[in-house]
């Protein structure tokens, strides 16, 4: 069986130069290099999935993402994405914690939960309780002042929309943010947890049931089933332990700048590139991108 060896660099650091290609050809002399984006993304057809280990070892000195993929059904019909630290660069709850004067405490719990050291649902309840009394206006202030889209997010979502895919934002965060991020990027649907408020302030309660690890997997499966999309034509991306079941269920699960345990378990991992790497993993050329 043939495989696709995918090599992707950060678009801001185009390290795939003539020297790199020469070394690559030396490793796989019978494979033709196919360019997806000059200096940034290339494919090779290889005979064995061992090629990924050979290439990663050979290029351990180069900041590049190397993954092995089956050659069939590369282009996906459904994208399901995590939001915090994936589509956006922050964890919204950590940013809100500033208004409660509890940034350090809440961030520490977030980090442990994302590494899989804590039960996600229990950890979310604990952190939300610590936000009790924060003015409701802090939500908008946080979004406007502190939240930024991850490089490549808009291009990823809008290109997949143009190519006819369904795009869904599924977050363990909060609906206030997912709704706005979905509009900014072009996601067709968004799903998250609901923060409760009382008298103009956060009540310290999140509406149940909580959207956690199992609910993310179920959201992927439901979106696929409702639209008649086979699971092997689905793509999921996330960074934390609560994304693992979703990543494992998808046709292609991608760990994006993820916690170590998540990166090790996922089918593909992106440690250096931006979110356009998810398009290159599907064999989409830069010339096909929707850039705005």
Q: 46: domain CATH number? A: 3.30.70.250
Q: How many domains does the structure of the chain reveal?
A: 1
**Residues 255, 199: Cα–Cα separation, whole Å:** 40
Q: Is residue 176 part of a domain?
A: no
What's the whole-number average pLDDT of the chain?
96
- Confidence (pLDDT) at 99: 94
- Confidence (pLDDT) at 108: 97
Q: Is residue 7 part of a domain?
A: yes
Q: Is residue 236 part of a domain?
A: no
Identified catalytic residue from 10, 43, 65, 84? 84
Residue 30's pLDDT band (cuts 50, 70, 90): confident
Section 207-226 average pLDDT: 96
Q: How many other C-beta atoms lie within 10 A of the C-beta of residue 66? A: 23
**Which residues lie below 8 Å from residue 52, measured CB to CB, with a gap of 6+?**
5, 66, 67, 68
- Confidence (pLDDT) at 1: 74
94 is catalytic: no
84 is catalytic: yes
Q: Is residue 29 part of a domain?
A: yes
**Residues 146, 4: Cα–Cα separation, whole Å:** 39
Section 90-99 average pLDDT: 96
| 134-147 confidence digits (pLDDT tens) | 999 999 999 999 99
Q: Is residue 31 part of a domain?
A: yes
Residue 249's pLDDT band (cuts 50, 70, 90): very high
Section 89-103 average pLDDT: 96
Does pLDDT of 291 surpass 90? no
Which of 19-23, 218-222, 229-233, 276-280 is predicted least confidently? 19-23
Q: Is residue 158 part of a domain?
A: no
Section 91-113 average pLDDT: 96
- Confidence (pLDDT) at 201: 97
End-to-end CA distance of the chain: 38
Q: Is residue 35 part of a domain?
A: yes
Section 49-77 average pLDDT: 96
Q: Which residue has the higher pLDDT, 1 or 123?
A: 123
Which of 12-26, 126-140, 162-176 is predicted least confidently? 12-26
| 155-192 confidence digits (pLDDT tens) | 999 999 999 999 999 999 999 999 999 999 999 999 99
Is the sign of the CA dihedral 50, 55, 60, 64 positive or negative? negative
Domain extent at residue 33: 1-72
Identified catalytic residue from 10, 43, 65, 82? 82
Q: Is residue 116 part of a domain?
A: no
Judging by beta carbons within 10 Å of its beta carbon (0-12, 13-18, 19+), is residue 280 exposed, middle or buried? buried
- Confidence (pLDDT) at 129: 97
Judging by beta carbons within 10 Å of its beta carbon (0-12, 13-18, 19+), is residue 10 exposed, middle or buried? buried
- pLDDT over 70, % of the chain: 100
């Amino acid at each position: 069986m043939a495989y696709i060896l995918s090599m992707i660099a950060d678009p801001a650091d185009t390290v795939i130069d003539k020297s790199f290609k020469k070394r690559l050809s030396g490793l796989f002399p019978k494979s033709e290099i196919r360019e997806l984006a000059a200096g940034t993304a290339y494919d090779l057809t290889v005979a064995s999935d061992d090629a990924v280990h050979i290439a990663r070892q050979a290029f351990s000195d180069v900041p590049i993402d190397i993954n092995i993929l089956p050659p069939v059904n590369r282009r996906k019909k459904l994208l399901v994405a995590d939001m915090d630290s994936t589509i956006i660069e922050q964890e919204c709850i950590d940013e809100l914690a500033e208004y409660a004067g509890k940034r350090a405490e809440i961030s520490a719990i977030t980090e442990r939960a994302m590494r899989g050291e804590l039960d996600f649902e229990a950890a979310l309840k604990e952190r939300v309780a610590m936000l009790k009394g924060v003015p409701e206006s802090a939500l908008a202030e946080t979004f406007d002042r502190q939240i930024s889209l991850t490089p490549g997010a808009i291009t990823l979502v809008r290109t997949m929309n143009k190519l006819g895919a369904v795009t869904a934002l599924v977050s363990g965060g909060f609906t206030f943010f997912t709704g706005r991020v979905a509009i900014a990027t072009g996601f067709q649907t968004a799903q998250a947890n609901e923060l409760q408020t009382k008298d103009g302030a956060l009540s310290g309660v999140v509406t149940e049931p909580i959207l956690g690890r199992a609910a993310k997997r179920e959201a992927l499966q439901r979106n696929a089933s409702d639209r008649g999309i086979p699971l092997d034509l689905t793509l999921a991306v996330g960074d934390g332990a609560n994304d693992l079941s979703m990543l494992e269920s998808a046709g292609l699960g991608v760990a994006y700048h993820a916690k170590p345990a998540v990166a090790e378990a996922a089918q593909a991992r992106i440690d250096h590139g931006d979110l356009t790497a998810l398009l290159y993993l599907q064999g989409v050329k830069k010339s096909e991108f929707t850039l705005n």
